[in-house]
Amino acid sequence: MRRRTKRLWWLAASIMGLVLLYISGPRYPEMIINPIMAASPYTIDNVDSLVKAKESQITNLRPGNEAKLFWMDGLREKTSYALVYLHGFSASRGEGDPIHLEIAKRYGMNAYLARLDQHGLEDPDALLHITAASLLASAKEAIQIGKTIGHKVVVLSCSTGSTLALYLAAHQPEMIDALICYSPNIDLDNPATHLLDKPWGLQLIRLIEGGKYHSWDAPESAQMFWNTTYRNEAIVALRQLLDQTMMSETFTKITQPLLVLYYYKSDEERDETVSIPAMQEMFDNVSTAESEKAMYPIPNAGFHVIGSKHYPNDLATVWQYTTEFLEEQLRFKSLE
């Protein structure tokens, strides 16, 4: 009996030691975010030069990845609505080509195609220095630019761009008038990623990935517009962003007209990057009027990115749902 009791004590002590080792392990530095925007430095007269000056300072920026302003008819004047495009994680504005500018031209909108912090760079340690706060700061800046070039703002976004758009729409509703979210990243499809911002999270992903980097395959035409190899620290930062923003308290504050499109054909043929159940939960919990929101699968999209010429399987259906939404909800009239 004493021997059995002694073994139990050793077992309990071992378990306690492992628990203490786990909770005292290294954690990726936590980044606190703030949705409130500071005073905007932009005016209709300086916004073009400020955007170009900022992008020109970055010496390792890939061609075609820089943030871009589009002026309807070439005039430097506010339009009734402006379109802001927020791209996804590891991407750039090429991700939304051609839909973003075709939408702007069809409805007579100025447009701003943003570049999120640390994205679009030629860097062997791509995305190493991004944080949840720096991603959000990029999105805030983009919305301020949108409000400078348009009286109202429609945000078209993909994946993590939608994470940022939804969060800012909840907390700065006066800045965003409608949301179009392609494959919104409400949560990652792999539930194991919830461990990444816990103790040993970075060490865990390095063990899984076999080193410091995550790599994925992209079509040749897409490789200039995505970082297909980047540091694993970036995925931890993304996990922190999701954990701090994508929650019911955010969703219930969203009141703007909302369109959600995503790839789903069957349980075997679906988006394997982001969680579709999490998308549905977000959609069900927003405070947008039922008549002003819509959510549709794109069965033939074939991939997480659904609005890009680099993944063009069913752009026609994405275009159809997007234009119908704008014409029905915002009463847009085509100029074509």
Q: State residue 31's pLDDT score.
A: 73
Q: Supply the range of the domain harboring residue 289.
A: 33-329
From CA 308, how far away is CA 195, in angstroms rounded? 31
Q: State residue 10's pLDDT score.
A: 52
Q: State residue 19's pLDDT score.
A: 47
From CA 203, how far away is CA 192, in angstroms rounded? 14
Residue owning tokens 């020109």: 56
For residue 15, being part of any structural domain is answered with no
- Which alpha helices (H) appear in 173-232, and where do they start and end? 201-209
For residue 237, being part of any structural domain is answered with yes
What DSSP designation does 46 have? T
For residue 209, being part of any structural domain is answered with yes
CA dihedral 63, 69, 75, 80 (to 10 degrees): 150
For residue 1, being part of any structural domain is answered with no
Q: State residue 30's pLDDT score.
A: 76
Who's near 270: CB < 8 A, 6+ residues apart? 263, 264, 276
For residue 260, being part of any structural domain is answered with yes
From CA 107, how far away is CA 325, in angstroms rounded? 13
Residues of the chain with pLDDT under 70: 1-28
Closest alpha carbon to 230 in 245, 217, 216, 213 = 213
From CA 184, how far away is CA 250, in angstroms rounded? 14
Asked if 117 and 55 count as a contact pair (C-beta separation under 8 A), the reply is no
pTM greater than the 0.85 cutoff: yes
Q: State residue 18's pLDDT score.
A: 43
For residue 335, being part of any structural domain is answered with no
- Please give the tally of structural domains in the chain: 1
For residue 11, being part of any structural domain is answered with no
Instruction: Provide φ and ψ at 290, rounded to 5°.
Output: -55, -35
Q: State residue 26's pLDDT score.
A: 58
CATH of the domain at 40: 3.40.50.1820
Q: How far, in Å, are 29, 90, 139, 235 from residue 210 at the CA level?
A: 22, 20, 32, 15
Asked if 156 and 49 count as a contact pair (C-beta separation under 8 A), the reply is no
From CA 288, how far away is CA 283, in angstroms rounded? 9
For residue 17, being part of any structural domain is answered with no
